[in-house]
Amino acid sequence: MAGTCLVRGSINIDEFFRVPHIAHAGETLSSTGELTRRAGGKGANQAAAIARAGGNVQLVGAVGTDGDWVKQQLSEAGVDVKGVHIHPEISTGRAIIQLTPEGTNHLALHPPSYHLAPPITHLLLQNEILQETTLEFLKYAKEKGIRTIYNPSPLLPKEEIAKFPWGMVDYLLLNEHEAAALADATAPHAHAHSLPPTSKAPQIATVLTRLQQPLFQHCTVILTLGGQGVVAHISKDEIYYLPAATLRGTVRDSTGAGDCFTGYFVEGLLSGREKEQDGWKGLLRRCVVAAGMCVERSGAMGSIPTAAEVDERLNELGQM
């Protein structure tokens, strides 16, 4: 029987500005299109991705009265939003997103407030909520035997990284930049256990090797690499690399692609896909294809494909 994941994370209103390039310090840019507002936040996006992938998911957080439509969209996506409270005293979190013609983006966040949650089988956390809240939920999950998935984005300050209870994390999902910064902040001069070379992407083994420190050796590490694909260190003898999906069409918007990948990964854990015939490779392939489809569309939450759409694409590719 599939489990249920609790997502304790941010719920934002994303405001998109199309710009010729990411603004530098002191630079003023004019947007090349109309301001677009969409539902977002890493917690909301990842919860919606789990739901659209076919998983059972509850989201806990808060919005202001200006964000009641965001809660409605989450509900329509299949997310259990009983734990999402609407508070008249707060404003819904905002993410100001600069979107370039190439589809890259830069975010500036204003975080809102949050509340507590019920027990579940899996817990998914990110770094867009108060750190003390994240630590409370991790401790609770550890006590109850709940499997924990941590997407440390945005990355904590160096002093917080050193104090973080990494031993409470079962699955660590991060990109290559976060992985490099995390390795530097924890043991920049430590000797790491070398991983076997990866012939398809030898530079990836170097990044992943730097995380082979005692602090993280108990974690399953999933390292996303954008256009290069993904590498997963499941155990000492299980390392998988998959290239990125081949994109179709002309729209290229990377906003939400990482959250889409995370949501499909968590759904895979909930339904036990890593135990099926294709194992971890099959689970990761599904995540990569879903994230690729997300990039083919505009927006964050609204660009996440459904399980049926991903199955159709996999069938077309002969990978079902």
| 3-class DSSP assignment, residue 194 | coil
The residue-averaged pLDDT of 126-154 equals 89
Is residue 299 annotated as involved in ligand binding? yes
222 versus 119: which is more confidently predicted? Answer: 222
- The torsion of the CA quartet 48, 54, 55, 60, rounded to 10 degrees, works out to 20
8 A C-beta contact, residue 112 and residue 64 = yes
Residue 141 has pLDDT above 60, yes or no: yes
Domain count of the chain? 1
Is residue 255 annotated as involved in ligand binding? yes
Letter string b/e over residues 33-43, b meaning 16 or more CB atoms within 10 A of that residue's CB? eeeeebbbbbb
Is residue 14 annotated as involved in ligand binding? yes
Q: What is the per-residue DSSP string for 268-304? A: HHHHTGGGSTTHHHHHHHHHHHHHHHHHTSSSSGGGP
Please name the residue that has the structure tokens 């959250």: 259
Q: Tell me the percentage of the chain whose pLDDT exceeds 90.
A: 36
Instruction: Of 129-143, 177-191, 208-222, give the lowest mean pLDDT range.
Output: 177-191
pLDDT interval class at 109 (50, 70, 90) = very low
Is residue 229 annotated as involved in ligand binding? yes
The most confident of 93-102, 139-148, 182-191, 211-220, by mean pLDDT: 139-148
| 3-class DSSP assignment, residue 289 | helix
8 A C-beta contact, residue 126 and residue 258 = no
Q: How far apart are CA 129 and CA 304, in angstroms?
A: 22
Is residue 42 annotated as involved in ligand binding? yes
Q: How far apart are the first and last CA of the chain?
A: 22
Tokens representing 207? 């990044």
pTM over 0.85: no
Contacts of 26 (CB under 8 A, 6+ apart): none
- Residue 235: domain span: 5-23+31-319
The residues assigned a catalytic role are 259
Q: State pLDDT tens for residues 165-190.
A: 999 999 999 988 888 888 888 865 44
- Provide the CATH number for the domain around residue 214: 3.40.1190.20
